[in-house]
Amino acid sequence: MGIVDPEASVKVSVDSTLMKAYSRRGRKGGIGDRGARVGKTERRNYEVGWRAHTVASMSALPLTYVVRAANVNDKDLVEPLLKQAPRLVKR
């Protein structure tokens, strides 16, 4: 339809990965990283840690990233990251 100019467009991918935290939780109180939270790693597995959300170009060049607690959903951070990415592509 000619809506998007293929020369001016940049294809990106948004993904996240879990980083395990040094933390133990129990009746006597937890030790380790206080900011880490429990997040889903697979369909039925959960881990305590942080999640790095990254926007990368299709040529595998990382454009921007943010690290949040593991319980933050990917959908909540897609829009702010995609708004920040075009400014970094122009550099």
What confidence score (pLDDT) does residue 2 get? Answer: 59
- Do the Cβ atoms of 65 and 54 come closer than 8 Å? yes
Q: Is the pLDDT of residue 17 over 80?
A: yes
* Nearest to 47, CA basis, from 58, 55, 36: 36
% of the chain exceeding 70 in pLDDT: 73
What confidence score (pLDDT) does residue 70 get? Answer: 87
Which residues of 44-89 form beta strands (DSSP E)?
46-57, 62-69
Q: Is the pLDDT of residue 26 over 70?
A: no
Cα distance between residue 46 and residue 13, in whole Å? 24
Q: Is the pLDDT of residue 87 over 80?
A: no
